Amino acid sequence: MKLSFARLCRSLVLSAVLLMAFSVPSGAVAAGVTSDPGLYPLNKCIVSGEDLGDQSDAVIKDYDGREMRFCCKGCVKDFEKDQASFLQKLDKAIIQAQLADYPLETCVVSGEALGGEMGDPIDHVVGNRLVRLCCKMCKKELAADPAKYIARLDEAVVAAQLDGYPASTCPITGEALEGMGEPYDYVFAGKLVRFCCDGCVSKFNENPAQALATIYEATPEAEPHNEPENNHSGHRH
């Protein structure tokens, strides 16, 4: 499976933007944490519901900064015939999968309590990442500078998950996390992933689900729940 040019460019640009946007005081948690919220967060094809396995045969496409992974070219055609419906289906699956690990009880934009006087929180998807907001006005602010608020959310993920992080080795190399200095912190689909160095990120992004399993295999929430049901009957590859 080869990285698409669009995906590579998005990853490089987004990493640079987040590193510039994410500036915290000395000694704060998660200094330098990065993420790519556009990466496809599921291990199933959103069209057919089929498991993508090791994703070596997955068809990768980019739609307005959102990476999609399909089990076959036939599903690409089906997706492109009705993008709106499938993106709505994907958003629902993302919200269901990432809600349990969401680290904030306040709006990442305004700082107001979620579910307070403003009513029920708004579950919004940026790229392929859940962001919970207190109101529609904050949705507009988020759209104006998504990198700024994703960086804040990444900081909150690390602060919430660092103490209970279950692995002491890099999921890519198997080396001790502190074997090459400070571990490199990365957030994927609302979960903290720690590497021995930043060079492991690109390998992780080839098959995130497989690498996550080595970290969170004993954690029930590690597998996205309520993903699309398999409707691949009669589907021909």
73: Cβ contacts below 8 Å, ≥ 6 apart = 59, 237
50: Cβ contacts below 8 Å, ≥ 6 apart = 44, 71, 230, 232
Residue 234: strand, helix, or coil? coil
Does the reported pTM lie above 0.95?
Answer: no
Q: Is the residue at 84 inside a domain?
A: yes
Q: Is the residue at 159 inside a domain?
A: yes
Judging by DSSP bridges, how do beta strands 184-188 and 34-35 pair with one another? Answer: parallel
Taking the mean position of all CA atoms in its chain, how far away is CA 225? 15
Lowest mean pLDDT among 27-31, 49-53, 71-75, 210-214: 27-31
Can you give the pLDDT at residue 105? Answer: 96
Q: Which domain holds residue 128?
A: 5-221
Asked if the model's pLDDT at residue 28 lies above 70, the reply is no
Q: Is the residue at 237 inside a domain?
A: no
The Cα-based distances of 89 to 73, 156, 178 in angstroms read 19, 27, 40
Nearest to 42 by CA among 145, 128, 111, 150: 128
Per-residue pLDDT of 94-119, as tens digits, reads 999 999 999 999 999 999 999 877 78
Can you give the pLDDT at residue 164? Answer: 94
Question: How many domains does the chain contain in total?
Answer: 1
Per-residue pLDDT of 121-137, as tens digits, reads 999 999 999 999 999 99
| Both structure tokens of 120 | 């029920």
Phi and psi at 122, nearest 5°, equal: -95, 120
Nearest to 152 by CA among 66, 33, 40: 33
**If you average pLDDT over residues 86-93, what whole number do you get?**
97
The whole-angstrom separation of Cα 9 and Cα 64 is 13
Nearest to 112 by CA among 132, 140, 142: 132
Radius of gyration of the chain measured on its C-alpha atoms? 18
Exposed e or buried b for every residue in 139-156, given b needs 16+ CB within 10 A? Answer: bebbeeebbbbbbbbbbb
Q: Is the residue at 140 inside a domain?
A: yes
Q: Is the residue at 231 inside a domain?
A: no
Asked if the model's pLDDT at residue 206 lies above 70, the reply is yes
Q: Is the residue at 124 inside a domain?
A: yes
Asked if the model's pLDDT at residue 18 lies above 80, the reply is no
Asked if the model's pLDDT at residue 170 lies above 50, the reply is yes
Percent of the chain exceeding pLDDT 90 equals 67
Q: Is the residue at 236 inside a domain?
A: no
Burial class (CB in 10 A: 0-12, 13-18, 19+), 17: middle
Q: Is the residue at 227 inside a domain?
A: no
